[in-house]
Structure 1
């Protein structure tokens, strides 16, 4: 456990320490400890204001892409998972096997075909080019199907039907509430995946003002690598500080949503 803890926390600790250093201190001081003249707030200010504050624009873009994709993917996964769990229809088994097979397909293998499709319909280099592909989450659908199987009791559905509720009302008024813990799981998985997505936005977007944080920081890293003694020589500290700032929203999201990872919401839902 200690080895696993060190494996996961040491890179984060290094990122915090490195964000307090200047570019020169990154190469002249011990990597896992602070320099004699910490300048975290100076680095943060420089990162947020560099190039007209483009980092803030990248951060806003990333929040929009990730939140919209996460909520949309969670809703679609919940609807499809509930349908597979509670209804039997022609092609039920084949359709679900197709979903399982889609989990095995690497997303990078679909990036180029997806770009060609979006270019044909004029959606390349738009926010939809990042959001729409992220709405399809086969793993989330599989998880919601497995969760809905037990989280939504058949007896509760039958009771609602006897009371005259339609299928839409049952899903939106009853099932979605019972599926809340599974929904939060899919939201977090999709949020992290979209937030950290690099390859898809890289090939879909060529306007720097539409970049997410991953692509934007990569462009800064390229400038730092190509920089000499000029202005680009300080880019490395901006890249490190920007990486730290990009992690903070994910940590906050996990801390805020972890309390919803509860089970047993269906307890007492069935009328006695």
Structure 2
């Protein structure tokens, strides 16, 4: 009887696994990126904080205390009360004018940009690229270069010094049309449009029920850019308007600021007015940012 000896099976020693490096986990990179973001945040938030602090001070405290420190006397509510009541509430009129110019102007400009961008992206016709190139050239033209020709044109039409002289130019957004065209090309599936056509939907209905829904993130971006641009616009109303009752907030506050040498109390009126003027933009950014953020990350995870 023989016994068969078997050699024990030994497993090969496991090789040490290479350390997997995840992007953004390097300590030096994290420190540098965080430092840059902190500096950028301070750059954008410091003026807002200064306005908030300055609006709580009287004219004397503005020049006798640190600009970034609150004064002993909290004068915010008194300042805001004076802003809203001065000259029979002219600031309220300016504020409503800005809402009209920026709100309605941005809304209609967004719709026009969406319709034009969608048409250029999804309909092929002769001269398509030429039209898009001309519109794209409008992005390169600054608004200050067209203000004087627009004034001469509106003067001949009898529209100067009216609401229309500021509202009509606000309806045009070459950048918005460019963005909507690019976004429509990337996100609006032709098969989806064909399916809607097979169901008997017309082109106008397809645009409103399918196109606008898909373009929502781009529309929010266009609306925010146009809202901020029109709200902060100063040169066009300066050229177009001579009646103070038609002024937007930007032009009205500059009118107050120009009188501080004669009447120093306009300092606190101006700072209080600036604080009130940034509230609508802050609300719009907070409310609409979720649509914006969703559009930026769309398609990143499937």
TM-score range, shorter chain: over 0.9
Of residues 42, 66, 74 in structure 2, which corresponds to 1:38? Answer: 74
C-alpha displacement of 1:265: 11
2-structure distance, mates of 1:41, 1:192: 26
Matches within 5 A, 1:176-195: 176-195=212-231
1-structure distance, mates of 2:152, 2:158: 10
2-structure distance, mates of 1:164, 1:101: 37
Task: Determine if the alignment matches structure 1 residue 237 to structure 2 residue 268.
Answer: yes
Matched positions, count? 262
C-alpha displacement of 1:177: 1.4
Which structure has more RCO (C-alpha within 8 Å, separation ≥ 6)? 1
Deviations 1:49-73 (A, max 9, x none): 1111100010011001111111110
Partner of 2:161: 125
Of the two, which has the highest radius of gyration?
A: 2
Task: Determine if the alignment matches structure 1 residue 253 to structure 2 residue 284.
Answer: yes
Matches within 5 A, 1:16-35: 16-35=52-71
* Greater mean deviation of Cα atoms: 173-182 or 204-213: 173-182
2-structure distance, mates of 1:242, 1:61: 14
1-structure distance, mates of 2:111, 2:211: 12
Contact 1:127 1:210 in 2 (8 A): yes
Contact 2:218 2:295 in 1 (8 A): no
C-alpha displacement of 1:264: 9.7
Q: Secondary structure at the match of 1:206?
A: coil
Task: Determine if the alignment matches structure 1 residue 173 to structure 2 residue 209.
Answer: yes
Partner of 2:90: 54
Q: Secondary structure at the match of 1:223?
A: coil
Q: Secondary structure at the match of 2:285?
A: helix
Structure 2: runs of 5+ lacking an equivalent:
1-36
TM-score, scaled to structure 2: 0.84
Q: Over aligned residues, Cα RMSD in angstroms?
A: 1.5
Task: Determine if the alignment matches structure 1 residue 70 to structure 2 residue 106.
Answer: yes
2-structure distance, mates of 1:168, 1:183: 18
C-alpha displacement of 1:263: 3.5
Of residues 146, 155, 174 in structure 2, which corresponds to 1:110? Answer: 146
Contact 1:178 1:266 in 2 (8 A): no
